[in-house]
Amino acid sequence: MPEPQVDLDAYFARIGYDGPREASLEVLRDLHALHPAHIPFEAINVLCRKGVSLNPDDVDRKIIFDGRGGYCFEQNGLFRRVLRSLGFEVESLAGRVLWGYSESDGPRPRCHMAMRVTLDGEAWLVDVGLGGCVPTAPLLLGVSVPQVTPHDTFRVRERNGRYLTELERDGVWKPVHEVDIVPVEDIDYEVMNFYASTHPESGFAKVLMVARSAPHARFTLLNNRLTIRLRTGEEEVHHLSVGDVEQTLTDIFGISVDPSWRTYLEDVVASAEAVRRQG
């Protein structure tokens, strides 16, 4: 089946890109930095029990034209169509997110989309849908040396038929995700998306997760805790009221707040504050 078309003019306007339209490493790096800077990671529809469609028309309407964000299947699905429209050779991959979890949490669901781009004989791991620790540059595969990106230093190691991506924080390598080397089909994403967007045990159904990686800092909103991490490594944390959460969604993440979200935001803020008082 041919790849569904994407309005490149509208997409490039959305992320502020006005450079060449060719399959080059420079273009890939530029797009990989601009996408998470302008399009926030968010799964508010899941939190509000509205579901997530992977239909390309629905994704484009939501992310490109309505100014919303999305999670991995939406964001990387859109990015894949953009790259293929430019002539890039792209393979679809799937894996498990490990960031923020420990071994005691048990195995994570295989519920993440990433991509492998082959360019001039080299393979690159591409992922613009990973929330607060998203790489802001493609990562070269086949090497295990540290790779410096605009925000953090990463490395990718092959282990048991998977790419294990790690991020260095305070001198410690922390796992980000493990992605299967063997490509998958789009129907696999439909199954994963169904779990992520509708299952009561999906993390997105329980907490508010929003993130954006601007040129100077990463912004991460987890329930009512806003973390601002500068590129220098300095961090500041703020605990927000419901009204402040709504204002932050608009001012920092560029998301117009739907009044129907209020009840769900009140619930996650109340739960987060109760945990904070206990802890």
Active site residues: 72, 112, 127
Q: Residue 219's beta-bridge partner residues? A: 212, 228
- Give the C-alpha distances (Å, rounded to integers) separating 226 from 135, 194, 211, 263: 20, 28, 9, 19
- Give the C-alpha distances (Å, rounded to integers) separating 148 from 48, 78, 143, 152, 265: 37, 25, 13, 6, 36
Q: Chain-centre distance of CA 117, in angstroms?
A: 17
The Cα–Cα gap between 95 and 73 comes to 12
Q: Which two tokens stand for residue 220?
A: 């991460």
Please choose, from the candidates 178, 69, 53, the residue with its C-alpha nearest in 3D space to the C-alpha of residue 129.
Answer: 69
Contact 249, 225 (CB under 8 A): no
